[in-house]
Every structure is written in structure tokens, then in C-alpha cells.
Amino acid sequence: MSGASAHAAAYAECARIVQEGDPDRAVSVGFASADRRDGLWALYAFALETARVRDHVSQPLPGEIRLQWWRDRLNADETEAEAAGQGSPVATALIDTVRRYDLPLDAFDRYLDARIFDLYADPMGSRTDFEAYAGETQSAIVMLAAMVLDRAEAPKVADAAGHAGVAACAALTVRDVERHRSRHQVFVPADILAATGLDASGWLAGGAKAHPAERAMFAYGREHLAQAEAQIPRLPRSVRAALLPALFAARGLDQKGEGRGEAIRRLWFYWRTMRR
């Protein structure tokens, strides 16, 4: 298979992965310029695969090894993306995207470092710690997507991306609470728990006593969402598609899964946001 054919196949596989596993991001790609969509497919497939590492390991060490594999691939010296990808279509497409758009490798390093938290059962620290985690994960993907879409305009997205990432992380923390509890993981900041009379063990126990902390997380997320959405009208349309998935996630996800009503709400929200 020629280099061009291998890259085309790799990008197609990334599109399939995102379409099957992350409908919010998959639909948002349709609002991006056609010539930039391949880069988004690669970036979002990478984000999806690395976010799922914890789902596929029973101990932290294999997860850390997998995250290190991604770091090694991104820092490989090979001149051909296909060789550096070691047979992984997502890695092949991502390396090509990083080189094509000159994406900063240090952003990927920080992203992978932050994902190590997912592998352990250490409770989240303060809101400052939560915002740092959200910034290096959710917000970082938004910024990298903006660089793919329009490198010159991408810096204008930074503040909105920061707030949108925190808001999305807050919403997803509550959405995924039962899965986190089954792993004895606490993503709610300790100071939010303390303000509602809980500690990590109280949050893990769940029940009615945890409801105030859930409401506090939603309120915390809404504050950041409001700050992100207030900036949308001032942002160039060329980069707005990068923010769509995080903004929609922050508005709350349907915990019962994907459905026709959810799909319509998502499409309407994306269309309206792009035209504000």
C-alpha cells in the first residue's frame, strides 16, 4: 500500500472509531472545513482511545505502559508516519496530523500525563486541581482542534476552551459517577465535597447524601459554561467547530444513551452556535 493510500485508510478508520464511539465529536466534524476534517478525525480518535485506556486495564501499570506507547509514537524519529504508527491506524493518522499542522508535542505530553490520573483511585484535589486536569484533557483537545482548523485564529479560542473544558469535565463527572464509584474513583474536587458536608468516602457511598455535591458540580460547571458561551459571538467561525463537543457535553448528556431526541438537540445546538 502506498503512503497516500495508507494515510487515507488510517484517516477512514479514525472516522469510523469516532462515529461509533463519540457522536458529539463526530457530528461536530461536519461543521468544520472539509479540508480539515481528516485532522479532526485523527485527533478525536486519539482522544477517545486514550480516554478509554482505564476501561481496558485492571491495574494501573499496563495503562501507564499504553499511555507511554502513545508518547513514544508521537516522539518517534521515523520520517514516515506509517512506520512510526507501528501498524496502528489512529497513531499513523495522528502522527501525520501532528506533522501536517505542526501541532505542539508538549500539549500531547501534558495530555498523556493528565490521563495517568484516570488509572488510579486517588481522589481529586481542589477545584484548582480539577481545572488543571480539565485543562490538560478536555480543553487541550479543543485547542488542538482549533489549531487544525485555523492556526492563525486558534489563540482567540484559548479562554473559551479553558472554561468549556472545565464545564464539560464537570458534567461528565456527574454523568459517569456510577462507573467511577465502581472503581473507587473520586473526580469531584475535595473542596466541593467539603462544602456539602462530604468527604471522598461519603461521595463513594452515594445515596441521597451525595445529591448536594452533584448539584454543586452542576452549578460549578454552569458557571464555566456561561463564561465560555459568552465568548462565542466574538470568535471567528473558522474555529468554532472545535468548541462544539465540549459545549454540548457541558449542557448535560442523556444518561440513557443516544436517541433521536438527543441527536436533534445536538444538531440544533451546533447549527445555532456556528451562526451566532
| Predicted structure pTM score | 0.93
* Residue 236 CB neighbour total at 10 angstroms: 14
197 phi/psi in degrees, rounded to 5? 80, 20
Identify whether 151 is part of a domain.
Answer: yes
Question: Based on the domain organization, do 99 and 126 belong to the same domain?
Answer: no
Question: Based on the domain organization, do 246 and 181 belong to the same domain?
Answer: yes
Report how many domains make up the chain.
2
Reading the block at residue 233, the C-alpha cell is 459571538
* pLDDT tens figures, 80-112: 555 666 779 999 999 999 999 999 999 999 999
Identify whether 109 is part of a domain.
Answer: no
pLDDT: which is higher, 72 or 4: 72
Identify whether 110 is part of a domain.
Answer: no
Question: Based on the domain organization, do 150 and 262 belong to the same domain?
Answer: yes
Question: Based on the domain organization, do 38 and 151 belong to the same domain?
Answer: no
What does the mean pLDDT of the chain come to?
A: 93
Domain around 52: 1-103
- Confidence grade of residue 253 (pLDDT, cut at 50, 70, 90): very low
CATH number at residue 171: 1.10.600.10
Report the amino acid identity of residue 43: L
User: Are the beta carbons of 134 and 169 closer than 8 angstroms?
Assistant: yes
DSSP string, 29-41: HTTS-GGGHHHHH
Question: Based on the domain organization, do 99 and 189 belong to the same domain?
Answer: no
Question: Based on the domain organization, do 92 and 2 belong to the same domain?
Answer: yes
**pLDDT value, residue 77:** 73
* pLDDT tens figures, 188-232: 999 999 999 999 999 999 999 999 999 999 999 999 999 999 999
